[in-house]
Structure 1
Amino acid sequence: MEEIYYLDVILIFIYIGAFIIKYARWKERFSGLYESMEEDNDISLNDINRESLEEEIMAYIINKKDNNYSQVIDQKETQIKDMEEYISKWVHEIKLPISAISMILERIDDAELSIEIKNETEKINFLVNSVMYGSRATAAAEDIFISEVKLQDIIKQAIKNNAFMLIRNNIEIKLENLDHYIFTDKKWILYVLDQLINNAIKYSRENAKIQFYGEESDKYICLNIRDNGIGIAAEDLERVFNKGFTGNNGRDTRYKSTGMGLYFSKKILDKLGNSFEVYSVKNEYTLFKIKFNKISDFTTITKM
């Protein structure tokens, strides 16, 4: 019996030793995967050697999930593109009756009534353009074309786009030090400027003024857009670029705000590689800064 007990003890130690060795090898084989799980990192097929049944099963599961995920992403991208095409077509169709209204206004003898209708028509036109560009703001970067443009020309075009509303609201425009060339997408930067000018008009006071002036440093050219309107509350400054955020101004029934204009503008400028900053003092001024890098990272730059 003693010999049997002795053999049993030896066998137990052999089994324990074999288990420890097998566990050590197993742990070494899957240590990379375990560390990835602990660090909450994604595990790809490249992380699996497929040298055992367990690894084959893991590879199969990951491959299956990747395929399902790719199908869902493709489906969502198709839906987004379909919606963008629908909105784009709708915008072009709605512009026809807007243009027709503008032509009809020329035949109205009542000047005051004509101006009031023109004022509302311009608001509709601005909102329609915001819908179109806003729907594209979250799209892929293939809709961006970078070229070299003169900053002064861009500002003058933005002022021309909003000329009626600026005149209607007696907004003084001041331009300084804009004789710079920048790298940007003309279409998208005009959308951003339209948003900022519209906000300056919306939140203006008596003797309203909008200043556009440039500043140059070694690394970038900064465009400053400053107005002397009602300003932004200090507690709202950090959130003005958040989606749907309207702040204290948006709660005032006199000012209609969706909280989407600055949100889309920030996303667009991020895609263009420009920093976007805001400074304001309540009831004094609001200043937006757009910084254009002098050295562009874009592969295609065409001089206009």
Structure 2
Amino acid sequence: MIDFLLTNFPTLLALIVTGVFAGILAGLLGVGGGIVIVPVLFFLFQSFGVSAESAMLIATATSLATIVPTSISSIRSHHRQGNVDVDLLKHWAIFILIGVLLGSWQVTRVDGTWLTVLFGVIATLSALNMLFRSGKSALFASLPGKAGQTSMGAFIGFFSSMVGIGGGTLSVPLLTLCNYPAHKAVGTAAAIGLIISLPGALTMLLLGETPADAPAATFGLINLAGFACIVPLTVLCAPLGASLAAKLNAAKLKQVFAIVLLITGLRMLMQVFM
């Protein structure tokens, strides 16, 4: 154990910093950890000699694994406040799960390059949504019918699992576009995050083939060292971010984060195409 710690000290230190960073941002801005963790791990693993393709696969799976415990904690908090829509979840859960199983299985079969492109597109669109649609009125008067909601659930599950993000990045914007209360969208997204992350992470752990150039302590496609470093620090540092939010201008900080996310998404796309 001591030899492992000494040999991999730079990697472990970088993972610890990632956990602190993700936790503070989650508390400060209310953004999901996956949208932060995936790109950080993607570039971090490459800096330690992992190929871009392998780095994206491992970052995606490891991010999903970290979302499991943090989403459980978040669900408890939102449920106490009555912000988890159980009726919506009853209808959506099976279709989200189907999307997750298809998406996470696909991750174990595709080249990591395509996941990089997909994440880059989703990150770019999320950043543009934060910059230009924050606080704007809904586009639709209500949620669509059962067929439309079924499609929404499957869409959220499939694409979220493929890029290692929880429920918030896709479900909150989609729900609020349909005139759904923002506080309930956030609370329900926490529960959606668990439906996405648990089966997705298990699929990638059990069915994923560990790349030859994977960093130490990687099993399947999940880097357990990353999981062990990131999860406790994310949980510990989220309250710090929340206390900072009370003292700082969170709206302006969210705009800064959106710009950073936009640059990150575009950089990932450029790495593939240029």
TM-score scaled by length of structure 1: 0.26
Decide which structure has the larger Cα Rg and report it.
1
Scaled by the length of structure 2, the TM-score of the pair is 0.28
More strand by share: 1
Specify which structure has the higher proportion of helix: 2
